[in-house]
C-alpha cells in the first residue's frame, strides 16, 4: 500500500471542487435503502427456503410423511408473513399529488408512459451558495390507484405478479413436460384429455355459474361488483389442480401406474387449459366492453381464441422442440456437452419467448417444448447433457415450486390487496369442491362407456380427492387485483390453495388406505411405477459413460413391450394411439433422432433421395445393436436407463437410497 499512501499529496493537489446538491445525496441514500430492502426481501425467501429444505430433511430422516415440502413451505411462509406484518417496521413511501402542467399540450387517450416531474429542490448546501434550480425527474407508469389508503406495506416482501408467469412457472411447467412418463401418458391419453380439456372447461363453467348465484344471494356489498365474467374467471382460475403432495405419496407407496399417469397427466394439461381459458375470458371481456353488448360473435371469438391460442402455442413449442432435436442430430455439438446443454436451455427458453412475442401463451409452448425435448432431443444428447439438463430443471423446479408456495404463505399477510369476505370464501370452498366432483364423476361415467378396463369407483374417488389447487391458480389470481372482486378472488384462492395443500395433502395416505387402493406393486414393476427415474441413482451415474445408444437393458425392453399389445387401452383410443405410435416410430423418430429404422426404409421409394439426406451414418451403421433401442422407443417410453449390472451394491453404499428415490419422486412427480 506504500504507493497509495505516497500519492496522497498528489491527490490533495488534484482534487478540485465537486458540486453535488443535497438532493442528489439523499437520492443516492434512498436508492441504497431501496436496494437493501429488495435484498432483504430476497434474503427472507432464501432463508425460508433453506429452512424448508432442512426441515424436510429432518422429516424424511424421521420418515414423517403427512407433510410434504410444499405444505411446509406454505406454513413457514404464513408464520414469517405474520411476523413481517405485525412486527416489522413500516417502510414509508412518500407520495405527492401532481397535475399536468397547465399549458401542456397533450392529446393522449391513455396516461403517458413517463411523467416529467419538475420538483423544486429545497435544500441549500451552504448559505453562501446559490440555490439549486428546479430539477426534472422521470416517473414511469405503474398503475391506477384505486384505493388511496393502505399503501404502507406495498414494498413488503412482495413481487410483481408477472414474475410468476415469466420466471417461476416456465421452469416448473417445462420440467413437468420434460419428465412426463410418456408411455403411460399416451396409454391413458383419452381419459387425460377428457379430464383436462372438457373437465376443466366444465368445472370452470359450473364454478363460475354457482359462484355468480352465490354472490347474488349474498347480503354483502360485494355482490354488485361481480359480473358473471368475473365469477367465470374465478371458475377458470380455481379449476386447475396441482396434486404434488398426492403424487409424492403415490410414488412412495407404489400406487397403480395408470392412476398415477391420469392424475399427473391431467394436472399438467389442465394448467395449460386453465391459463388459456382465463386468457380467452379476459379477451372476451375486452371485446364485449368495446362493443357494448353481449354478442354471439364475441362469444364465438372467445372460443376461437381458446382453441387458436392453445393449438398455436402447442405448435410453437413442438416446433422449437423438434428444431432442437434436428440441430442436436445433424451437428456434432454433442461433443461439447456444455455447448449442447446451453443450446438446449436457450432453445427451450426461446420457445417461451417466441410464444409470448406472438401473443400466445408461453407456458403452454414451454410445456409441449418440454415433451418434445424429452421425446426426441433427449435421445440425441450426450450422456453428460442428459444428466445436466435433467438435474438443472429438477433443481430449478424444486426451488421455483417451493418459492411459490412460500410466497403464497407470506403474501397472505403482506400482500396489501387482500379482501376477506367470509361468504365469498365459504362459497369458493364449496363450489371448487363441487366443480372437481363434476369434472370427475360424470366424465368418468362417460369414459367408462367406451373404456375397456373401466375406471373403478375408488380410482374416481381418488381422482376427486387429488383436486388440490396450487401454483397456477395462485398466479392467475394475483395477476390482477385492481377491483374488489378480484381481491376477494385472490384471498379465496390463497385460502383454498393453503387448505388443500396442507390438509388434503396430509390426508392423502389415509385416503389411499380408506379407498382400498392397492399399493406396493411388485418390485419387478417398480421401475415402471416411478414416473421419472431418479438421475441420481448411483447405478446410472456409474453407467453414464457407456454408449448412450444402448442404455436400455433387455429387461426394460421386455417390461415395456409386454403390456402394450395386451394392455388396457382397447378400442378407438388405442387405435389412435397406435396410429400416432406408427407415425412417431416410422417418421418422426428416424427424422429427429438417431433411432432405427432409418427413413430410407420407412419412406416411400420416391422420397428416397430426401430420406438419404436426412439419415445420419450413425443410423445406418448402428445396425443390429440399435435394434433393441428402436423397440423401446417405439413404445413411447422415455428411455431412462435401467439399473445395470454393477460391481457395487448401491444399498450398501447409500443406506438412504430407497428414501432418496422416494423423496425425489415426490419432488419430480410435480406438475403445478
Q: Does 568 bind a copy of itself (CB under 8 A)?
A: no
Instruction: Count Cα atoms within 13 angstroms, Cβ side, for 410.
Output: 23
Q: Which 45-64 residues touch a copy of itself, going by CB under 8 A?
A: 46-47, 49-50, 53-54, 56-57, 60-61
Q: Which 235-294 residues touch a copy of itself, going by CB under 8 A?
A: 285-286, 288-290, 292, 294
Q: Does 131 bind a copy of itself (CB under 8 A)?
A: no
Q: Which 515-544 residues touch a copy of itself, going by CB under 8 A?
A: 535-536, 538-539, 541-544
Interatomic CA distance for residues 208 and 97, integer angstroms:
40
Q: Does 391 bind a copy of itself (CB under 8 A)?
A: yes
Nearer to a copy of itself, 73 or 462 (CB): 73
Q: Does 30 bind a copy of itself (CB under 8 A)?
A: yes
Nearer to a copy of itself, 327 or 515 (CB): 327
Q: Which 94-123 residues touch a copy of itself, going by CB under 8 A?
A: 94-102, 104, 106-119, 121-123
Interatomic CA distance for residues 207 and 473, integer angstroms:
14
Interatomic CA distance for residues 147 and 156, integer angstroms:
18
Closest residue by Cα to residue 329 from 573, 15, 589, 514? 589
Report, in Å, the least distance between residue 635 CB and a copy of itself.
27
Q: Which 428-447 residues touch a copy of itself, going by CB under 8 A?
A: none
Nearer to a copy of itself, 64 or 357 (CB): 357
- 196's enclosing H/E stretch is none
Neighbours of 358 (CB within 10 A): 14
Interacting residues of 240 by C-beta distance below 8 A, sequence separation 6+: 200, 267, 270, 271, 273, 274, 275, 469, 470, 472, 473
- 118's enclosing H/E stretch is strand 114-119
Q: What are the φ/ψ torsions at residue 118 (nearest 5 degrees)?
A: -90, 115
Q: Does 135 bind a copy of itself (CB under 8 A)?
A: yes
Nearer to a copy of itself, 458 or 480 (CB): 480
Q: What single-letter DSSP state applies at residue 334?
A: G
Q: What single-letter DSSP state applies at residue 428?
A: H
Q: Which 647-666 residues touch a copy of itself, going by CB under 8 A?
A: 648, 650, 653-657, 659-660, 663-664
Q: What are the φ/ψ torsions at residue 22 (nearest 5 degrees)?
A: -60, -35
Q: Which 69-98 residues touch a copy of itself, going by CB under 8 A?
A: 93-98
61-97 per-residue burial string, b: 16 or more CB within 10 A, e: under 16 = eeeebebbbbbbbbbbbbebbeebbeeeeeeeeeeee
Residue with cell 406495506: 153
Interatomic CA distance for residues 569 and 584, integer angstroms:
18
Report, in Å, the least distance between residue 458 CB and a copy of itself.
25
Q: Which three cell numbers stand for residue 580?
A: 400416432
Nearer to a copy of itself, 227 or 519 (CB): 227
Q: Does 125 bind a copy of itself (CB under 8 A)?
A: yes
Residue with cell 390482477: 480
Nearer to a copy of itself, 301 or 515 (CB): 301
Count of residues of this chain found to bind a copy of itself when the rule CB under 8 A is applied: 160
Q: What single-letter DSSP state applies at residue 15?
A: -
Nearer to a copy of itself, 50 or 562 (CB): 50
Report, in Å, the least distance between residue 333 CB and a copy of itself.
5
Q: Does 140 bind a copy of itself (CB under 8 A)?
A: yes
Residue span binding a copy of itself (CB under 8 A) among the ranges 22-30, 412-420, 574-582, 630-638: 22-30
Nearer to a copy of itself, 118 or 612 (CB): 118
| 672, 370 contact by CB (below 8 A) | no
Taking residues 155 to 194 in sequence order and writing x for each that binds a copy of itself by CB under 8 A, - otherwise, the string is -------x--------------------------------
Nearer to a copy of itself, 37 or 507 (CB): 37
Report, in Å, the least distance between residue 275 CB and a copy of itself.
15
Q: Which 320-379 residues touch a copy of itself, going by CB under 8 A?
A: 327, 331-333, 335-339, 341-343, 345-347, 349-350, 353-354, 356-357, 359, 362
Report, in Å, the least distance between residue 188 CB and a copy of itself.
20
Closest residue by Cα to residue 376 from 321, 335, 330? 321
Neighbours of 562 (CB within 10 A): 10
Angle of the 169-178 helix axis to the 257-291 helix axis, nearest 10: 140
Nearer to a copy of itself, 123 or 217 (CB): 123
Interatomic CA distance for residues 477 and 233, integer angstroms:
9
Nearer to a copy of itself, 96 or 605 (CB): 96
Considering just the CA atoms, what is the radius of gyration of the chain in Å?
Answer: 29
Amino acid at each position: 500500500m506504500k504507493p497509495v499512501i505516497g500519492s496522497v499529496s498528489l491527490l490533495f493537489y488534484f482534487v478540485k471542487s465537486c458540486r453535488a446538491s443535497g438532493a442528489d445525496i439523499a437520492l443516492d441514500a434512498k436508492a441504497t435503502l431501496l436496494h437493501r430492502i429488495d435484498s432483504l426481501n430476497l434474503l427472507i425467501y432464501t432463508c425460508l427456503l433453506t429452512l424448508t429444505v432442512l426441515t424436510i430433511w429432518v422429516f424424511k430422516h424421521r420418515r414423517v410423511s403427512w407433510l410434504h415440502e410444499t405444505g411446509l413451505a406454505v406454513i413457514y411462509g404464513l408464520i414469517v408473513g405474520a411476523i413481517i406484518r405485525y412486527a416489522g417496521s413500516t417502510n414509508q413511501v412518500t407520495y405527492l399529488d401532481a397535475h399536468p402542467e397547465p399549458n401542456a399540450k397533450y392529446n393522449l387517450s391513455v396516461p403517458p408512459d413517463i411523467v416529467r416531474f419538475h420538483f423544486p429542490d429545497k435544500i441549500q448546501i451552504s448559505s453562501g451558495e446559490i440555490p439549486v434550480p428546479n430539477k426534472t425527474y422521470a416517473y414511469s407508469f405503474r398503475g391506477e390507484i384505486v384505493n388511496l389508503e393502505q399503501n404502507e406495506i406495498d414494498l413488503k416482501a412482495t413481487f410483481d405478479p408477472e414474475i410468476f408467469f415469466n420466471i417461476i412457472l416456465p421452469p416448473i411447467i417445462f420440467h413437468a413436460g420434460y419428465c412426463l412418463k410418456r408411455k403411460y401418458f399416451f396409454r391413458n391419453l383419452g381419459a387425460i384429455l377428457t379430464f383436462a380439456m372438457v373437465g376443466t372447461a366444465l368445472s370452470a363453467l359450473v364454478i363460475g355459474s354457482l359462484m355468480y348465484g352465490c354472490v347474488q344471494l349474498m347480503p354483502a356489498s360485494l355482490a354488485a361488483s361481480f359480473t358473471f365474467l368475473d365469477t367465470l374467471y374465478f371458475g377458470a382460475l380455481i379449476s386447475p389442480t396441482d396434486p404434488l403432495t398426492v403424487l409424492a405419496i403415490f410414488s412412495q407407496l407404489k400406487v397403480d401406474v395408470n392412476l398415477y399417469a391420469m392424475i399427473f397427466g391431467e394436472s399438467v394439461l389442465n394448467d395449460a387449459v386453465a391459463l388459456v381459458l382465463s386468457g380467452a375470458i379476459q379477451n372476451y371481456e375486452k371485446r364485449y366492453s368495446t362493443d357494448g353488448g353481449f354478442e354471439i360473435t364475441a362469444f364465438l371469438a372467445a372460443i376461437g381464441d381458446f382453441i387458436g391460442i392453445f393449438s398455436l402455442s402447442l405448435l410453437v413449442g413442438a416446433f422449437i422442440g423438434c428444431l432442437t432435436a434436428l440441430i442436436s442430430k445433424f451437428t456434432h455439438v454433442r461433443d461439447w456437452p456444455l455447448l449442447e446443454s446451453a443450446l438446449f436451455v436457450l432453445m427451450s427458453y426461446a420457445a417461451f419467448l417466441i410464444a409470448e412475442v406472438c401473443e400466445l401463451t408461453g407456458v403452454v409452448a414451454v410445456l409441449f417444448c418440454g415433451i418434445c425435448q424429452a421425446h426426441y432431443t433427449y435421445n440425441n444428447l450426450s450422456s453428460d447433457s442428459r444428466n445436466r439438463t435433467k438435474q438443472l430443471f429438477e433443481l430449478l423446479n424444486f426451488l421455483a415450486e417451493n418459492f411459490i408456495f412460500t410466497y403464497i404463505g407470506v403474501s397472505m399477510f403482506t400482500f396489501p390487496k387482500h379482501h376477506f369476505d367470509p361468504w365469498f370464501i365459504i362459497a369458493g370452498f364449496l363450489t371448487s369442491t363441487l366443480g372437481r366432483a363434476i369434472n370427475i364423476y360424470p366424465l368418468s361415467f362417460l369414459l367408462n362407456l367406451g373404456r375397456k378396463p373401466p375406471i373403478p369407483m375408488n380410482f374416481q374417488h381418488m381422482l376427486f380427492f387429488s383436486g388440490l389447487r396450487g401454483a397456477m391458480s395462485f398466479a392467475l389470481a394475483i395477476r390482477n387485483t385492481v377491483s374488489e372482486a378480484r381481491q376477494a378472488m385472490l384471498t379465496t384462492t390463497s385460502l383454498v390453495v393453503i387448505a388443500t395443500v396442507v390438509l388434503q395433502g396430509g390426508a392423502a395416505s389415509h385416503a389411499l388406505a380408506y379407498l382400498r387402493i392397492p399399493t406396493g406393486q411388485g418390485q419387478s414393476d417398480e421401475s415402471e411405477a416411478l414416473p421419472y427415474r431418479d438421475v441420481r441413482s448411483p447405478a446410472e451415474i456409474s453407467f453414464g459413460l457407456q454408449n448412450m445408444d444402448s442404455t436400455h437393458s433387455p429387461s426394460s425392453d421386455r417390461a415395456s413391450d409386454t403390456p402394450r399389445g395386451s394392455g388396457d387401452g382397447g378400442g378407438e383410443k388405442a387405435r389412435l394411439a397406435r396410429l400416432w405410435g406408427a407415425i412417431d416410430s416410422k417418421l418422426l423418430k428416424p427424422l429427429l433422432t438417431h433411432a432405427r429404422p432409418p427413413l430410407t426404409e420407412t419412406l416411400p421409394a420416391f422420397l428416397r433421395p430426401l430420406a438419404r439426406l436426412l439419415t445420419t451414418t450413425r443410423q445406418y451403421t448402428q445396425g443390429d445393436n440399435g435394434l433393441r433401442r428402436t423397440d423401446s422407443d417405439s413404445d413411447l417410453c422415455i428411455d431412462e436407463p435401467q439399473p445395470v449390472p454393477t460391481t457395487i451394491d448401491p444399498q450398501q453404499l447409500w443406506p438412504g437410497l430407497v428414501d432418496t428415490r422416494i423423496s425425489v419422486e415426490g419432488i419430480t412427480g410435480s406438475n403445478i
